[in-house]
Homo-oligomer: A and B are copies of this chain.
Amino acid sequence: MEELTGAQLIAESLKTQNVEYMFGIVGVPIIEVAMAAQAAGIKYVGMRNEQAACYAASAVGYLTGRPGACLVVSGPGLIHALGGMSNANMNCWPVIVIGGSSDRNQETAGAFQEFPQVEACRLYSKFSVRPSSLEVIPSVVEKAVRTSMYGRPGACYIDIAGDMVNAKVDRSQIRVVSCCPDPPVSLADHGAVAEAVSVLKTAKRPLVIIGKGAAYSRAETALRELVETSGLPFLPTPMGKGVLPDDHPHCVAAARSRALLQADVILLLGARLNWILHFGLPPRFDPNVKIIQVDLCAEEMGNNVRPAVALLGDINAVVTQLLQGICKDGWKYGSGTEWWSLLRNKIAANAKISKTLALQSTVPMNYYTVFHHVSQLLPHDCIIISEGANTMDIGRTMLNNYLPRHRQARRTTVAFTGAPSQSLTHPLI
């Protein structure tokens, strides 16, 4: 007979589900969970505020495809983690939050930091639950990890009654639950793919927009081939940067406004037509633009603009389908078209304006000057961590013009400072 504590069972279950990192702040009643996690081989990172802990854990999820865990105490401990949960859930990053809570026999009596925690997490999660017994912990952890990764990724919450942490159960009572596989992949309908290819081929002013979904689905190889084979210009969203390098000759980020405004067909890959893309509507888009929308979330299809074609499926898989459709007859969008000329001229004009500004020596320095000089000093492969707030300002344009060679590195750049909220607006794409 082998006895396990609740803490050990939680740790083992997370480890079984390939959760490799845990960020948190220990305290009553979850100290032993952190110790058990370390004993089980999970890398535990002690933080100074649950707020930052949860952002960190969710960044791990976005970057690796398996959720990080965030471990917090009850009451304020959990509530401080809601910012990270919310960010993860809105931005489709997998994360698991584990919160200690009141002992079961003190519920309603005014227990230490008693709060309806499962309910508090509802708005910020795909799954929120308080297991009633030790026996169900492995399957609850599996369901949480799986749910955080499958479909649109997001946050899941598990509430652990304080008295369950050190309670014991015999291992023979526990149903073995194996690791959940990677998410299932689906393809777009063949007819819809054919239609999309046909729409693309008739485009006069086509544009590919690369969103966060393309990055998360690891579409970089297929997408590079698609772009290079087809000859299409592309534009990354802020979180779509790094899938293809910003200094790729087909990148038209430095003529972003013009590209968006005049495109007549847009292949939208895993990006939402929300405020970041001006809702896909005039005055920033052509009212007659045809959108080929590729997304793994059916409910995203048609948000704000009715797509000409909706391709539902895994971004990487659908890009591969499109590649086959486009390539089979050797079609290519010519580099000598009027549209390419227009975009190249705009890029050059913008670069010139920026350069002029960059070389000004007014006091105070303008943004361009700052970026120019910073850029010159940066090594090629550095990781830049910036503190939000620049989402909305001119800085975004700057990064496009001055830091192109650092894009690949930025792929791994996620700030988890737990600092003021403005730094968190950055990922809200």
Name A residues whose Cβ lies closer than 8 Å to a Cβ of B: 25, 27-28, 48-51, 72-73, 75-77, 79-80, 82-83, 86-87, 90, 104-113, 115-116, 118-120, 122-124, 126-127, 129, 131-133, 135-136, 139-140, 142-143, 146-147, 150-151, 161, 178, 180-181, 183-190, 192, 272-275, 279, 296-299, 301-304, 306, 310-313, 317, 389, 392, 418-422, 424-425, 428
Contact = CB atoms under 8 A, between A and B. Distances in A.
Pairs of residues from A and B, 4 with the lowest C-beta to C-beta distance, nearest first:
A110-B274, A151-B298, A76-B421, A77-B421
Contact of A120 (B123, B140, B299): B123
A425 B119 contact: no
6 contacts: A110-B279, A146-B302, A147-B299, A181-B302, A186-B188, A189-B317
A214 to B, nearest CB: 17
B143 A25 contact: no
Contacts of A187: 186-190, 313
Task: Report how many copies the assembly holds.
Answer: 4
B119 A136 contact: no
A45 B115 CA distance: 30
Most chain B CB atoms below 10 A, which of A77, A272, A425: A425
B146 A133 contact: no
A311 B185 CA distance: 8
Contacts of A272: 110
A313 B186 contact: yes
Given A107-B131, A187-B190, A275-B111, A76 B425 contact: yes
Nearest to A25: B420
Given A116-B119, A119-B122, A306-B180, A279 B189 contact: no
A306 B178 contact: yes
Given A186-B312, A275-B111, A275-B112, A25 B132 contact: no
A109 B420 contact: no
Contacts of A132: 104-105, 107, 132, 161
Nearest to A188: B186
A303 B142 CA distance: 9
A15 B116 CA distance: 28
Contact of A49 (B105, B136, B298, B418): B418
Nearest to A73: B421
A76 B28 CA distance: 27
A113 B425 contact: yes
A80 B106 contact: no
A90 B108 CA distance: 13
Contact of A109 (B106, B139, B188, B296): B139
B180 A184 contact: no
Given A25-B420, A419-B48, A136 B108 contact: yes
Given A140-B108, A301-B150, A421-B72, A186 B184 contact: no
A189 B185 contact: yes
B25 A105 contact: no
B133 A115 contact: no
A303 B143 CA distance: 7
Most chain B CB atoms below 10 A, which of A132, A139, A313, A317: A132
A136 B106 CA distance: 9
Contacts of A76: 83, 86-87, 421, 424-425, 428
A139 B317 CA distance: 31
Contacts of A313: 186-187
Nearest to A318: B186
Contacts of A420: 25, 27, 48-50, 77
A246 to B, nearest CB: 24
Contacts of A115: 86, 90
A157 to B, nearest CB: 12
A325 B232 CA distance: 36
Given A116-B123, A418-B49, A79 B83 contact: yes
Nearest to A177: B306
A232 to B, nearest CB: 22
A27 B422 contact: yes
A125 to B, nearest CB: 12
